[in-house]
Structures are given as C-alpha cells and as structure tokens.
Chain A
Amino acid sequence: MTMAAATPGDATGRAGVPVLEMRNITKRFPGVVANNKVNFDVRAGEVHTLFGENGAGKSTLMRVVYGLYHPDEGEIRLNGQRVSISSPSSAIHHGIGMIHQHFMLVDTLTVAENVALGTRSTRGPLTGLDTVAARIVELSERYGLKVDPQALIWQLSVGERQRVEIIKALYRDVELLILDEPTAVLTPTEVGDLFTVLRQMASDGRGLVFISHKVHEVLDLSDRITVLRNGHIVGTLARAEATRERLVEMMVGHQVAAEEHPPRGVVGAPRLVVKDLHVMSDRATDAVRGVSFEVSSGELVGIAGVAGNGQRELAEAIAGLRPPVRGSIRLNDREMAGHGPAAIRSAGLGYVPEERMRDGVVGDFSVAENLLLVDYGSSAYSQLGFLRRGAIRRHCQELVADFNVKTPNLETPARSLSGGNIQKLIMARELSAQPQVLLVAQPTRGIDVSASLYIHQRLVAQRDSGTATIIISEDLDEVMTISDRILVMYEGTIIGSADPRTATREEIGMLMAGVRPSAGQPAAAAPPTSAANPPSTAQPPAPQPPAAPPGGGA
C-alpha cells in the first residue's frame, strides 16, 4: 500500500474492511513452535489486541507482519492482496508501522531528524527538515501529542520518546500500526493519553494491533481481543464478550484467584534509615532531594510514583551504585552512604535492580554463573582462588529448584530465559545471602501473571522471616496489594505516605501526580522551597530546572 492511498480522509469510509489477514501462520524455531497455524486479522478502524503471557507468541506473530521473521507456513494479505514481506523496509513500504518495546530512535538527533530518517526528502538531495518539523507540529496538534521537533531525543522522557515513535508512524501515514507492549514504560496518566491518541488513530480508519498482557488496559482499549497461549490461538472475543476473569483464564489456561492482601507481619527494629538524602541524576540534575524514611524488620514498604521521579536514583544510592551528594543511609546501624556495592552488600543489603537484563544478570553467562555472580569469592564457593565446582553445582541446583527457575540446565545462558525466570534467578541469588534489608525495584515489570504471583509470595515470605523489604514499583496495583505501608515519590521527594488497607487508588494517584491532600494543588506549582519538600528538609535545594510535567523529570 502506498502512502497516498491512505489519507485519513478517504480512509474513514473503509471502516470494517480487513487491512491485514493472516492465515495459518506457522513459525518454528529449533525446538519450539512459536506460532502454530495462527489466523489473525485486523480491520480498518479497530484496535485488535493480542493478549497473552510473555512467550505466548504475540511478538513473534507481529514480527512476521513487520518482516523481521519469515513464516514457515501460511499467507499474509494486506487489503486483500497476498503479499510477501521480506524485511522491515518492505513492511514500511506496505504502510505498516511497528512501535517496539525498545524505541528505535537515534539519541543524539532531534525529533525532526529522527522522523525524517528513512523517508525521502522533498528537496532532493538536501534535507527538508523545516517542512518535516512543520508537519510534526501539525500532526502533534491534531492528535494532541505534545512534542518539540527541535528537541534532542536523549533529553526526552520515555513517554515523550514514545510520542515521537507515534509521530513517526503518523508522518509515514501508516495504515496498520503495531504496538508491542507500549504501556510497559508509561505512567497511568500517560497510558490514558496514549489510549486517547490510539482511539483517534483508529477512528481515522487505521488498523491497530495492541500487544499486551495487562487485562485492564486490554479491556479499556480494544475492539476485539485475540488470546494466544503457547503459540496457539485460544480464541477471539469482541469487547462486549470479554471480562477480566474470562481473559485471564484464557491466557493462563486455568482459573486464577485474585491476589489478596497478605496479613501484616511482626515489625521489629529499624534496619534501613535514610535521612535527608540528596542524589544527582546522570544529567547532573537533582534527582533525589532530601528523602528521609525508615524501614523496620518484618515490614514491607512500597515506594510508588510515576517513573522518573527519582526512584531509580534512590535505589542506586541505597545499593551503592550512585554516590549520594549528601545525607545518610544507615543499614543495621552502620553508616553506608558513599560506600561501594560490595561493602553495602556485606552490611546486609540484597538488591534486585530495575534493569534486570543490564544490571541483574550477565546475559552471556550461564544460569550457574549468574547465581554465583555475588558469592563467587566467598569461601563456600572458592578455595585459594579456585572455584569449588562441586559446591557451586549443588548450591545452584538447590536455588534453581527452590525458586522454581525454569531452565533446561545450569549451563543455559541467562539471556535465553524468559523475563519471569530471569527475575526468579536474581531473587534466588539475592535471597540466598539472607539479606536483612531487601530492595527490589520493579519486581514484576514485564513478567507474566503466574511468575508475578510467585514473586509476590516470596517477597511476603521474606518479610515474614524478618527482612526489612522495600519494593519500588510503578505498578500501583502491585504496591497496593503487597505493601504494609506506601511512600509516594514525586519530583525527588517523598510527598506523602499511605496505608494500603485504608487508602484508595485515587488518593494515592493524587499523591503520584504531586497533589498533597492538605495543599490541594499541584506541588510543582508552588515555590520550589516549600511544598515540594517534606518539612524535615532543612536546606532548600539549589534553584530548580523549570517544573517538568509528571514523568518528564530526570
């Protein structure tokens, strides 16, 4: 399909016409059938969701459409024409766009330059960036996508980068847009904004494929929902037929009980005491500005907040990966601020990082090597500098069994495990050191339902065994389900706390948006020295950068 044929104006009349039809698509990988005789179609003007757990074959199916994989069997039709899509460029030529989980943007170029990349300039050999920029402004106004064409990508928040990806698709006037788990990186507010834009794109007559495993989002956005499990289609439901229970049951293959709030544990002495902590971000802005809190033995504290409000920097400072500017971090009554990760670990911290593929595991190391990543030098596993292979093997076998890590064997590279199993592997390693304080960032982001449930159980069990446990999560449901106490971070401060047993979602959502219950107005609007900081902050912070929109900080 050429671009000219798909202007929104004449497309609206085509609503209901199939844009994409996939018939009997089979895609095999050695030892796995990723898609088995899958039938799937998308009509103009609808959002058709592909729903299923990680590894069910959703992304594989869409990569076939986008020309990244070639199907072993089956046919693809676009607007009724049988086509062979050999590469992403041929997919783009056919009017297909795909927004990946990891954005395909050049960090050092501007928004306009990124949008122009790969398109033909209107001015022959010269770049026509000003016309591109003008078109971006036009598109962003029509769809309510706030983006500055001259901004450099690296300066943008994750939410803004995603808007650039959408603008890119709109600029190319795609007829079919595939979004691979687009909400995984967004805040609740941003998700709402995204859905508004997607609905508008659908009403223009485009076909949209939304890949997700979050039930409430699927119910919010979709016109039709197709559930995939183990490479098979379980069924396709119209929105009216779908309920939460039904979808989850189709996804998992059996009924899943809703997760209940665990009873409170026995709270003991404070284990982690953070006082007036200040931490810089990578871009030398004040990411954490005077944070104070304490967590006691037997307590599970959830730190909620919209992404980019200093949670990452706070976690890295506590773990010793980012030296704080000032302030105190006391772990088991020992001052640890400014110490390195090794010292902090030996003082009793276990840490599960947010970027589990980058920081949590060495992807090319085996499962066994990753389980050993912290303890490789301890006397239990090494003697006179030589690794004790027998002891290591036994230890790893125990951990893999205990944490139910699904892996073919201990020699499998961690890279080839699913996200849930990688997270279980990291948890196994961190908990095996019997930490007194456990810090887990984004415990279940991108992880399927059953693994998430399991991880939550382990976290609560760890709390019950006396560990002071902290989770930092952007998933409000998760924080509300398993925490004993919730702290909300906003613009580098702890703007408030809540009891998850009594507080409502809305109350916590207000805090996340920077609205303090007493003040009744956004904290960002107040002078930087007062409302944005808790009373315990003695010194006002340095002059702030212009107030960023939620999610636009750091």
Chain B
Amino acid sequence: MRERVSDGPTEAMVASGRGRWGRFLLTWFALPSALLVALLFGAVMMLALGADPIAGYRALLEGAFGGSYALSSTAIQAVPLLLVGVGICIAFRANVFNIGGEGQIAMGGLLSAATALVFPDLPGFILMPLVLLAGALGGAIWGAIPGFFKANYNVNEILSTIMLNLVAVQVMNYLLAGPMVDQSPSSVGGLIPETKVLPASAQLPILISGTQLHLGVPIAVLVAIGVYILLWRTSFGFQIRSVGLSRSASAYAGMPVKRTITLAMTLSGAMCGLAGAILVFGSISHRMVSDGSLTGFTGSAGFNGIVVALFGGLNPLWTIVSAYLFGGMIVGGSALQVATGVPSDLVTALSGTIVVLVVSLEYLRRRARAQSLAVAGPRAAAPPPLPRNAPPLAAGGGGDQ
C-alpha cells in the first residue's frame, strides 16, 4: 500500500512555490485524470490488439450499465467485492493488512454450505439467516486467528493471512471432494468436487423478475452502511480508528489495544465470510462449487476487494460506489471480449492502472497538504501520511465527529 512515487514534474511543482495551482489540480482532478489516463492506456492496448477502442469501450459500458439486466448483473458482481471491501476497511482502519480475504470467503462459503447440508429441513426464514450467519462465522474464525497472533505476538499479518489462504484451499478441496461432495455420479462417470444442490429454502430470493438481482445486494449495501456507522458513530469504531492510527497513544489512553486488533480482524473476516455465503446461496447453480483453486470459488474477490476498498478511500460508503464500478468492469469485460475479441483480461489491466494512478495521485495530494501544514510547527521531513489514514475521495465523509 505504500506506493513509492518517483520525483515527477507534478511533485516538483507541488514542492515549489508555484504549488498552489498544482495542489488545486491534484485535489479536484486527481480522480478524473486517473480514469482518463487509464482509459487512454486501455485504448492503446486495444489498438495494439487490432480492435477499435471506441467500439470496445462502448461494448464495455453497455455490457456493464446498459439496461436493467446489465445493471443487475453488475450489482451481483459487486456484492462480494463490496463485502470484502468493507471488511478490508475495518482491518485497515485498525492498521492491519488483511490479505486473507480469499481464504475467509472460502471458509465462510464452506461453513454456510455445511450448515445448509446439516439442517436441510429448517424453514427458509430460519435457514436463510442461519446460513448467512454461519458464513460470517466461518470467515470470522479465519480472520480472528491472524488477528490474535498479530495483536498478541506481533506476527506479521500479511504472511499469516496469505498462509491461511493456502490452508483454506486445502480444507476446501478436501471437504468438497470428500465429506461434502455430491454423491450422485456425474455424466462423466465420477464425482465432481461440488456439493449437491442446496435446500431451495435457503436460496437468496430474486427481487426483480427478469434480472439476477437477489437479496444479497441490499444486504451488502446495508452491511456497508452499518460498518460506516460502526466506524464513525460508535465508541468501538472510535477505538478501532484510534488503535489504527496510534497504538501507543491508544494504550496510553487506556484502550484495550490487543483486543481491538483481534476484534477488528474478526469483523473483517466475518464480512469476507458473509461474501462467501452469498456467493453460495446467490449462485445460479445453487451449490458450492470450485475448480480446485480459491479463485474458482471466489472469483478473486478477496484480492479485488482490497482494490475496491482502497479506491473507496477505506470509507465503507464510498466503497459501495467503488464496488459497483469495479463490478461493472468485470461484467463489461466479458461484453468487451464478445464484441471485439479483446480478452476480458484487459479490464484487469485497466483496473490495475486506475488503482496505481489514483493511489499515487492521492499520495501526492496528501504530501502537498502535509507540506502546507508543516509551517504550523517544526517537523520537517515527516513521512507523508499514508492514503489509508483518510478517505481520498471523501473529504468530508470521513472523520466527521
């Protein structure tokens, strides 16, 4: 997350006396110009592949946002991104880097599917909340483990969460091929590593017929709003943000620093686990299925969610917008491939470009601001604040107490 930015013209301009204009540009045009540069970059790639960029972008936009079906597909695609994103917001606000979203999603999916397999006969109004809670619990456990070790023994959470991803994939493959496998032989003659079709009572209902829009979408949005309230309106959220910004000052103030870190990671994992449950019970096949890799189940939401959260300035409300945009990129990418023959991987490169540019520009903006504040006291080469310390998009949406 700590982008190193080389001294470019913008930075030099900011550092010099002519910096006010540069700062103004950075403040108001960082996001649009980053998008523009990324789109130009994408256009060059399309041209190189022999496709027409205008037609390509039109296909991408229409595929993502053209009509109610496209809009609902984008929303479905955005749900896991949003839930992982708000989970990342919680962890990063506590200054813990949760890179284990993939594993937490998988554990959430497994525990929710297992719950449905164990209690297939419960009525829907009990079973559906139960499987969602089970999903959150599965992710929470998978988040609590690295959180506990980080808080108490300062075990590097980046390492531990990535390692737990590796453990999670093995657990998933074992369960899906073994205890939880669909016993009915497939047409190819063997067993496929997937669960049988789960009880229909637990299926997330479609809200608008003719679209894919299921109950998971409003749930995810409500959860995001809830997390915003948690972080900025409750004393526990205050504690999380305080511990994240300064462990020492929080300890001095008498806050339970270790418990806060563990709980933040637990909550973060719970969000990812809930995403896993929604992936299972919002799926069209209505079972848990994987190709033997985590990505096969998660669609890389555990990693893309980090990008979404960063793009949303680690603010859950902006993360809603950000998740929808990135969901649109994924959906539009498929349309792009169909229309122009350009591989949908192009949108992955596009997303990456946008994120690098936005985060870099945000870094420059904060650096410029830090310089302008430096006059208030003798603190010279103070390291510029990291982007995670405040929402880049939400000047007023953040720490408004």
Contacts and interface: CB of A to CB of B under 8 A. Distances in A.
Interface of A: 27-30, 32, 34, 54-55, 58-60, 63, 68, 70-72, 100-102, 180-181, 319, 321, 340-342, 344-346, 351, 353, 355, 358-366, 368-369, 372-374, 376-377, 381-382, 385-387, 389, 392, 410-411, 415-419
Given A30-B20, A373-B253, A385 B378 contact: no
Among the interface residues A181, A341, A342, A360, which one has the most CB atoms of the partner chain B within 10 A?
A341
B245 A364 contact: yes
B284 interface: no
A387 B375 contact: no
B17 interface: yes
A63 B372 CA distance: 14
B303 to A, nearest CB: 27
Contact of A417 (B233, B376, B381, B390): B376
Given A373-B242, A385-B234, A387-B401, A100 B380 contact: yes
A354 B128 CA distance: 54
A436 to B, nearest CB: 16
Given A181-B378, A346-B254, 18 more contacts: A27-B17, A28-B17, A29-B371, A54-B378, A55-B376, A70-B16, A102-B380, A341-B253, A342-B256, A362-B245, A366-B401, A373-B253, A376-B238, A385-B235, A386-B235, A411-B400, A418-B376, A418-B377
A272 B362 CA distance: 50
A112 B377 CA distance: 32
Interface residues of B, number: 39
A346 B253 CA distance: 11
Q: Is the interface of B mostly helix, strand, loop or mixed?
A: helix
A361 B372 CA distance: 21
B377 A362 contact: no
B10 interface: no
A376 B249 contact: no
B299 to A, nearest CB: 34
Nearest to B370: A415
Given A372-B238, A374-B253, A411 B380 contact: no
A369 B254 contact: no
B394 interface: no
A68 B254 contact: no
Contact of B252 (A353, A381, A392): A353
A322 to B, nearest CB: 11
Given A376-B235, A377-B235, A358 B377 contact: no
B375 A359 contact: no
A361 B249 contact: yes
A342 B252 contact: no
B380 A68 contact: yes
Given A358-B249, A365-B399, A416 B376 contact: yes
A385 B399 CA distance: 17
Contacts of B48: none
B236 interface: yes
Nearest to B373: A416
Q: Would you list the 5 A-B pairs with minimal beta carbon distance, nearest first?
A: A342-B254, A72-B17, A29-B375, A59-B378, A382-B235
B213 to A, nearest CB: 32
A362 B385 CA distance: 13
Nearest to B399: A366
A59 B380 contact: yes
B234 A386 contact: yes
Contacts of A68: 380-381
Given A101-B378, A417-B376, A351 B252 contact: yes
Contacts of B68: none
Given A358-B246, A376-B235, A419 B399 contact: no
Contacts of A341: 251-254
Contacts of B248: 355, 358-359
Given A319-B252, A365-B242, A71 B17 contact: yes
A387 B235 contact: yes
Contacts of B235: 376-377, 381-382, 385-387
Contacts of A59: 378, 380
Nearest to B241: A365
Interface string B223-248: 00000000001111011011001101
B233 A360 contact: no
17 contacts: A28-B17, A32-B375, A341-B251, A351-B252, A358-B248, A360-B249, A369-B242, A373-B242, A374-B253, A382-B235, A385-B234, A386-B233, A387-B233, A387-B401, A389-B233, A410-B401, A416-B376
B15 interface: yes
A369 B236 CA distance: 13
Contacts of A376: 235, 238-239
Contacts of B234: 382, 385-387
Contact of A362 (B15, B236, B250): B250
A410 B399 CA distance: 11
Contact of B372 (A30, A180, A363): A30
Contacts of A319: 252
B357 interface: no
A29 B389 CA distance: 23
A411 B401 CA distance: 7
A417 B375 CA distance: 10
Interface in B134-164: none
A342 B255 contact: yes
Interface in B249-275: 249-256
A419 B242 CA distance: 20
A28 B18 CA distance: 11
Contacts of B17: 27-28, 70-72
B365 to A, nearest CB: 13
B1 interface: no
Contact of A63 (B16, B249, B377, B380): B380
A29 B377 CA distance: 12
A314 to B, nearest CB: 15
B373 A369 contact: no
Contacts of A377: 235, 239
A63 to B, nearest CB: 6
B254 A345 contact: yes
A369 B238 contact: yes
A504 B40 CA distance: 76
A385 B236 contact: yes
A424 to B, nearest CB: 14
B122 interface: no
Contact of A369 (B233, B389, B399): B399
B374 interface: yes
A405 to B, nearest CB: 14
Interface string B2-43: 000000000000011100100000000000000000000000
Contact of A29 (B246, B250, B372, B378): B372
A341 B252 CA distance: 6
B373 A415 contact: yes
A369 B401 CA distance: 7
A359 B252 CA distance: 6
Contacts of B236: 385
A363 B399 CA distance: 13
B394 to A, nearest CB: 14
Contact of B245 (A30, A363, A418): A363
Given A71-B17, A365-B242, A387-B234, A359 B377 contact: no
B254 A392 contact: no
Among the interface residues B20, B251, B378, B385, which one has the most CB atoms of the partner chain A within 10 A?
B378
B254 A374 contact: yes
A552 to B, nearest CB: 25
